[in-house]
Structures are given as structure tokens and as C-alpha cells.
């Protein structure tokens, strides 16, 4: 059974048809990429999945539940976590406190006016684990807003990961990054997928990254599905080459 | 926690504990010290919402005044003791805040501030018009605070102004300790998360509106206790205790002292109350001078007087 199933989703903003009859299903353990030229509707599609917008038509099923009418926070609680194209973090807080908020919420302590010793130990242990995974241990006391782009992204991904999601949605995780940072983030995503078996759906514009990482790729153009398949199939697809890849595929 | 923060805590505690003894030396008097503590509590309560949740209310005087009227009416009409009267005022205000909060938490930013004013003014006009119960424009008179009976001993807060000061300070201490505890807890961190980035907070699974409601109610609860103490201090309450300009004064106190620092609003309140007392004995236009000081502080200390400290303390 698919973890995520989007059935014939359509999103209309006034006269603009941003998403036109797009279907998608993501299997557990899969790393799926969505690519497409600017304005293809990739982020809008993500917003439909994560609940920021309601679709004009169509249905979204997650973990065998119809989530079409659920609020973003309700979808999060079902196990859907996401990052954003422009990093969404708590800039004035330290790296550690950014993660701490997420870990405490995931542990169900979001309303606690105090923590017992055992609960605090569990939270601290999880915190260390996430700091290590994100390679952030040495920067734990830095204000996250003062970190490099790549580290901010790592912190955001770790916050999403703190929720122990069943599905991780990554919206252009390497947007605006240099080569080294892109490489670091790609390695992190790969590690999460291979080692932790996490199901990941990601939007990406960096071709090399996508062809290296993804199990399957969906290509969007002008709000419609242009092609879908393995990286090899996508690279060989003439429509895709014409619409999007151009020189990059050769 | 940094040594800087500890030193500040200690300094504030010592200053508050000794205030009635040095107030006269700097040209004040004990009642003024009591007023500083009460307004400090009000400003710190407002700041629970403003500084730690990032939500601006311009209607907190309504709950301050409700706390005051509640306590005053409990004493006048039912002959309640001081502590039950404070509880009655706090209960009335908290229920009102819970109901009104539920109606307005979907608004954000300046829209939220506007509706808090609007709802606040409802209580002002109620108190202003309902002569038979509230005394109308003349205020509620004909009652006095009562000595506090502990069974084995009595605390005479009626004539002994030092006793009244330390009673008020004790209530302040309990309220402030609870707020500090909440801010340092997982609940408090989730509120700061909303202040920092609402979208991220939502995508961590937080029901934002419910949390803002909770923060609003907590904040109004504490401000209502300040209001009850204020009525007790004056043996009097009138509709100005509910009016929107007092809400504005609370905001000025919090911003002037530093809304990102725990003690900032207390310092802001101390400066506000002292200036008000000193300048208003010389000119009717005292608000002009407070405004001038406010502008200067915001110009040269954009994070408030204690804001610089708070920033270093957080790092």
C-alpha cells in the first residue's frame, strides 16, 4: 500500500491553473524526486500535499487516511514533515533550542509546564543524536540565524526529522547553495534514506543531485505531469529533454 | 543560564526587598514603591504574551480593570477577605479572557491589537455606564481592603504601608516565579517558537491558535491579579483602570524596559511610574515627557533598556 497517494489533484488560483490533474503515489522507503522548470507548480504541489492549500479538486491519502481536509498541523501529527525552499527556522534561538522545541513536541511534551527527570534525559539523548546526524554538535550554542546556509538547512531538516516522520518532504533542499554545501546536504539526504529507510519526496532543480539520489522521478511542466520513471527513463525521454533538460542531459 | 542573568536576578531581588527603605532617599515614598511593583507585574504579564509569544495586545487594561472591579465588588457587596477578593477578580477576568480570546485568536498582528482594544472598550463602557453596580464615572467607593487573617496571626495591610508593600511583593513573587517557570518549560518554548516563526511552528505540529489563546489567558490572569492589587492599594477603582490608554501604558512599559528580557518590563514600569509621579506633580502634561523618554529609549535602545543584556544572556 502506498504511503502517500495524490489522486487527480487540481489547484486553481483565479484564472491560473497551477496544478492540473496530477496524480502521484509514493511507496514506503522510496526516495522520489519532482523536477520541472520554474513555475511548473512543484512548490504548489507540495503545499497541497502538506496542507498549506486545499486542492480545488482531487484527493490526498496519507497512511491510508484521507487527509484532503486536514490542517497542516494535523498532517504533521500523522507523520508528514516538511522543509521549505526558503529555510523556515527559529532564527533568534540557538541550534540546540531549535531542535529542542521539535524534540519536545515529538515526545508529546508540548504542553508540559515542567519535565520529569526521565523525560528530560530522553529528550537530551534524542537531541544529541540529531545534532550528531546533522553535523551540528559543534555549533549547538550558535544562533541558528547566524549560521551558513547549509547549516541552517541541516538544522531545518533535523527539526523535521525530530518528529520521526513517516514521510519527509524536502522543497529544494540545496536552493542557493555552493558546491560544497550542496554536496553535504545531498550526503545527508542519502544517509537518511539509505540508513534510516526514510521515505522522502523532494523537489530539486539540481539535475546531478536528482539523478544520483532518486529512485524515481516525476517531471512537472505547466502544472501537468510530463513524465514519470526511473532516472534512466527520464534522461532518455524526449519530451523531458525538449521541455526542460536541454543541454544538461547530454 | 549565564552569570549575567543570575547577577541581574539577584540585583532585582535585593532592590525589590529593600525598596521601601531607600525609596525615601531618592524622593519617593512607600506607596510609590508598591505602585511600581503592581505596574511591574502588569507589564511583565503583558510581556508573557508580547515578548514570549510575539502577540501584541492593546486591551490588557480590560483584564487589569476586571481584576480590580472583581476584587472591589467582592469586598463591597459580599464582605470577602482580601485573598478571596483577589481570587474573585482574577476569576472574573480570566473567564472573560478565555471567552474573548477564543473569538480573536485567528486575527494576527495589528488586527489582533485592534480587536483587543475594541473588546477592552466594551468593559470600559460597561463600568462607565452601569452606575448602580460599578459606581459609574465616579468609581467604586465605600469599601476598604481588609487585614489578612492567617488564623495564627494577622497582617495589617490597612494602615501599615510597609506590610502592604511586602504583601504585594509576595503576590508579585509568586506570579513572577510561575511565569518564569512556564517560560523555561516545554510549553514556554513552544510559545517562543510561535513568536520566532509561525509557519515552522505549525509544521512542527503546533495548533497555533490554541496556543496563542492559552498564552493570552495566562497573561490576562496575571494582569488581573495586578489589577486587583491596584484596587486594594487605592481602596478605589474607576473606569480609567479599564481604558485603552492604560493598555497602551503597559505596552510602553514593556517595550521601554525590553520585551525580550524577563525583567525589562519591570524596569520600564519603574521608570514610567516614577516619571509619572514626579512630572505630574509639576505639570498636567506629564504624558508629553513620558512620550519623550519613550521615543529616546526606542531611538537609542531599540531592544529596550535591558535588551542588550538579554541578547547576551541568550547566546
Tell me A241's DSSP state.
I
Out of A72, A101, A141, the one facing B202 most closely (by C-beta) is A72
- Report residue A112 CA to chain centroid gap: 29
Contact across the interface for B205 and A105, Cβ inside 8 Å: yes
Q: How many CB pairs under 8 A join A and B?
A: 84
Average pLDDT, chain B: 92
Q: What does the alpha-carbon distance between residue A227 and residue A235 come to, in Å, rounded to a whole number? A: 10
Give the chain B residue nearest A120 (alpha carbons): B186
Contact across the interface for B315 and A114, Cβ inside 8 Å: no
Contact across the interface for A72 and B204, Cβ inside 8 Å: no
Out of A105, A109, A113, the one facing B204 most closely (by C-beta) is A105
- Report residue A53 CA to chain centroid gap: 16
- Chain A neighbors of B182, CB-CB under 8 A: 113
Q: Grid coordinates standing for A241?
A: 529533454
The b/e string for A99-123 (b: 16+ C-beta within 10 A; e otherwise) is: bbbbbbbbbebbebeebeeebeeeb
Q: Grid coordinates standing for B30?
A: 512607600
pLDDT digits (tens, 9 = 90+) for A164-200: 999 999 999 988 888 898 999 999 999 999 988 899 9
Contact across the interface for B200 and A88, Cβ inside 8 Å: yes
Contact across the interface for A77 and B192, Cβ inside 8 Å: no
Give the pLDDT band (50/70/90) at residue B9: very high
Contact across the interface for B205 and A89, Cβ inside 8 Å: no
Q: How far is A74 from chain B (nearest CA, A)?
A: 7
Quote the number of domains for chain B.
1
pLDDT digits (tens, 9 = 90+) for B139-198: 898 899 988 888 787 888 888 899 999 999 999 999 999 999 999 999 999 999 999 999
pLDDT given for residue B315 in this prediction = 36
Q: Is the pLDDT of residue B262 over 70?
A: yes
Q: B200, B214, B215, B313: best mutation site toward chain A, by most A Cβ within 10 Å?
A: B200
- Average the pLDDT over B3-15 and give the result: 92
Average pLDDT, chain A: 91
pTM beyond 0.90: the answer is: yes
Q: Is the pLDDT of residue B314 over 50?
A: no
Q: What does the alpha-carbon distance between residue B195 and residue B108 come to, in Å, rounded to a whole number? A: 12
Contact across the interface for A102 and B204, Cβ inside 8 Å: yes
- Chain B neighbors of A163, CB-CB under 8 A: 204-205
- Chain A neighbors of B197, CB-CB under 8 A: 88-91
pLDDT given for residue A247 in this prediction = 47
Contact across the interface for B196 and A143, Cβ inside 8 Å: no
pLDDT digits (tens, 9 = 90+) for B59-90: 999 999 999 999 999 999 999 999 999 999 99
Q: What is the DSSP string of B197-246?
A: -HHHHHTTT--HHHHHHHHHHHHHHHHHHHHHHHHHHHT-B-GGGGSHHH
Q: How far is A198 from chain B (nearest CA, A)?
A: 18
Q: What percent of chain A has pLDDT over 70?
A: 97
pLDDT digits (tens, 9 = 90+) for A63-96: 999 999 999 999 999 999 999 999 999 999 999 9
Q: Is the pLDDT of residue B34 over 90?
A: yes
Q: Does A94 touch chain B (CB under 8 A)?
A: yes
Contact across the interface for B200 and A89, Cβ inside 8 Å: yes
Place of cell 508629553: B288
Q: What does the alpha-carbon distance between residue A11 and residue B172 come to, in Å, rounded to a whole number? A: 54
Q: Is the pLDDT of residue B199 over 90?
A: yes
Out of B189, B207, B315, the one facing A143 most closely (by C-beta) is B315
Give the chain B residue nearest A123 (alpha carbons): B186
Q: What does the alpha-carbon distance between residue B187 and residue B163 come to, in Å, rounded to a whole number? A: 35
Map B292-315 to HEC letters. Answer: HHHHHHHHHCCCCCCHHHHHHHHC
Contact across the interface for A104 and B203, Cβ inside 8 Å: no
Give the pLDDT band (50/70/90) at residue A245: low
**Residue B63's domain spans which residues?**
3-314
Give the chain A residue nearest B310 (alpha carbons): A92
Out of B187, B206, B208, the one facing A113 most closely (by C-beta) is B187
pLDDT digits (tens, 9 = 90+) for A1-46: 799 999 999 999 999 999 999 999 999 999 999 998 888 899 999 9
Q: Does A140 touch chain B (CB under 8 A)?
A: no
Place of cell 537530551: A124
Q: Across the strands, what pairs with A22?
A: A9
Q: Which domains does chain A have, with CATH numbers?
A: 4-249 (3.40.50.300)
pLDDT given for residue B309 in this prediction = 66
How is the beta sheet containing A224-229 ordered, strand by strand?
Answer: A80-82, A167-171, A199-203, A31-35, A216-221, A224-229
The b/e string for B113-122 (b: 16+ C-beta within 10 A; e otherwise) is: bebbbebbbe
Q: How far is B205 from chain A (nearest CA, A)?
A: 4
Q: ipTM of the predicted structure?
A: 0.92
Say whether A83 sits in a helix, a strand or coil: coil
Q: How far is B277 from chain A (nearest CA, A)?
A: 37
Q: Grid coordinates standing for B67?
A: 481584576
* CATH (domain of B171): 1.10.3470
Q: Does A67 touch chain B (CB under 8 A)?
A: no
Give the chain B residue nearest A79 (alpha carbons): B205
Give the chain B residue nearest A107 (alpha carbons): B186
Whether the Cβ atoms of residue A31 and residue A193 lie closer than 8 Å to each other: yes
Contact across the interface for A97 and B190, Cβ inside 8 Å: no
CA atoms within 13 A on the CB side of B38: 28
pLDDT given for residue A111 in this prediction = 85
Give the chain A residue nearest B210 (alpha carbons): A111
Q: Does A114 touch chain B (CB under 8 A)?
A: yes
Q: What does the alpha-carbon distance between residue B169 and residue B153 come to, in Å, rounded to a whole number? A: 19
- Chain A neighbors of B204, CB-CB under 8 A: 76, 101-102, 105, 159, 163
Whether the Cβ atoms of residue A62 and residue A3 lie closer than 8 Å to each other: yes
Beta-carbon count within 10 A of A174 CB: 23
Amino acid at each position: 500500500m502506498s504511503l502517500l497517494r495524490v489522486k487527480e489533484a487540481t489547484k486553481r488560483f483565479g484564472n491560473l491553473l497551477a496544478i492540473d490533474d496530477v496524480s502521484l503515489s509514493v511507496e514506503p522507503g522510496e526516495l522520489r524526486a519532482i523536477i520541472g522548470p520554474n513555475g511548473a507548480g512543484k512548490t504548489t504541489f507540495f503545499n497541497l500535499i502538506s496542507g498549506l492549500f486545499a486542492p480545488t479538486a482531487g484527493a490526498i491519502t496519507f497512511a491510508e487516511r484521507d487527509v484532503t481536509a486536514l490542517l497542516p498541523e494535523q498532517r504533521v501529527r500523522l507523520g508528514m514533515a516538511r522543509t521549505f525552499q526558503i529555510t523556515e527556522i527559529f532564527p533568534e534561538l540557538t541550534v540546540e533550542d531549535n531542535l529542542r522545541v521539535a524534540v519536545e513536541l515529538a515526545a508529546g511534551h508540548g504542553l508540559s509546564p515542567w519535565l520529569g527527570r526521565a523525560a528530560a534525559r530522553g529528550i537530551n539523548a534524542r537531541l544529541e543524536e540529531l545534532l550528531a546526524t546533522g553535523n551540528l554538535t559543534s555549533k549547538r550554542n550558535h544562533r541558528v540565524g547566524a549560521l551558513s546556509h547549509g547549516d541552517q538547512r541541516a538544522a531545518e531538516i533535523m527539526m523535521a526529522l525530530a518528529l520521526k516522520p513517516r514521510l519527509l518532504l524536502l522543497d529544494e533542499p540545496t536552493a542557493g547553495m555552493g558546491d560544497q554545501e550542496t554536496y553535504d546536504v545531498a550526503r545527508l539526504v542519502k544517509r537518511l534514506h539509505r540508513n534510516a529507510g526514510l521515505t522522502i519526496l523532494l523537489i530539486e532543480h539540481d539535475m546531478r543531485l536528482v539523478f544520483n539520489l532518486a529512485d524515481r522521478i516525476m517531471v512537472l511542466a505547466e502544472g501537468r505531469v510530463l513524465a514519470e520513471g526511473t532516472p534512466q527513463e527520464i534522461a532518455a525521454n524526449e519530451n523531458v529533454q525538449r521541455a526542460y533538460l536541454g543541454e544538461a542531459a547530454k | 543560564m549565564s552569570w549575567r542573568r543570575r547577577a541581574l536576578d539577584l540585583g532585582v531581588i535585593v532592590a525589590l526587598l529593600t525598596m521601601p527603605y531607600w525609596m525615601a532617599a531618592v524622593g519617593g515614598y512607600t506607596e510609590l514603591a508598591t505602585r511600581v511593583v503592581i505596574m511591574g507585574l502588569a507589564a511583565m504579564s503583558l510581556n508573557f504574551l508580547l515578548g514570549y509569544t510575539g502577540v501584541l495586545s492593546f486591551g490588557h487594561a480590560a483584564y487589569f480593570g476586571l481584576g480590580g472591579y472583581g476584587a472591589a465588588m467582592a469586598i463591597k457587596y459580599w464582605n470577602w477577605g482580601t485573598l478571596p477578593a483577589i481570587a474573585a477578580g482574577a476569576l472574573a477576568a480570566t473567564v472573560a479572557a478565555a471567552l474573548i480570546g477564543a473569538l480573536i485568536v485567528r486575527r494576527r498582528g495589528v488586527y489582533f491589537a485592534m480587536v483587543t482594544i475594541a473588546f477592552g472598550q466594551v468593559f470600559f463602557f460597561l463600568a462607565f455606564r452601569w452606575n448602580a453596580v460599578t459606581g459609574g464615572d465616579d468609581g467604586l467607593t465605600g469599601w476598604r481592603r481588609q487585614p489578612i487573617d492567617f488564623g495564627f496571626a494577622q497582617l495589617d495591610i490597612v494602615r501599615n504601608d510597609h506590610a502592604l508593600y511586602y504583601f504585594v511583593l509576595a503576590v508579585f513573587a509568586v506570579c513572577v516565579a510561575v511565569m518564569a517557570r512556564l517560560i523555561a518549560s516545554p510549553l514556554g518554548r513552544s510559545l517562543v517558537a510561535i513568536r520566532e516563526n509561525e509557519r515552522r511552528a505549525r509544521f512542527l505540529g503546533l495548533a497555533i491558535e490554541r496556543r496563542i489563546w492559552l498564552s493570552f489567558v495566562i497573561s490576562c490572569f496575571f494582569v488581573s491579579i495586578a489589577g486587583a492589587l491596584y484596587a486594594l492599594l487605592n481602596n478605589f477603582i474607576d473606569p480609567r483602570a479599564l481604558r485603552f490608554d492604560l493598555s497602551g501604558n503597559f505596552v510602553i512599559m514593556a517595550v521601554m524596559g525590553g520585551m525580550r528580557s524577563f525583567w525589562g518590563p519591570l524596569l520600564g514600569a519603574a521608570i514610567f511610574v516614577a516619571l509619572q509621579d514626579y512630572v505630574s506633580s509639576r505639570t498636567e502634561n506629564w504624558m508629553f515627557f513620558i512620550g519623550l523618554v519613550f521615543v529616546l529609549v526606542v531611538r537609542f535602545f531599540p531592544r529596550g533598556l535591558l535588551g542588550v543584556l538579554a541578547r547576551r544572556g541568550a547566546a
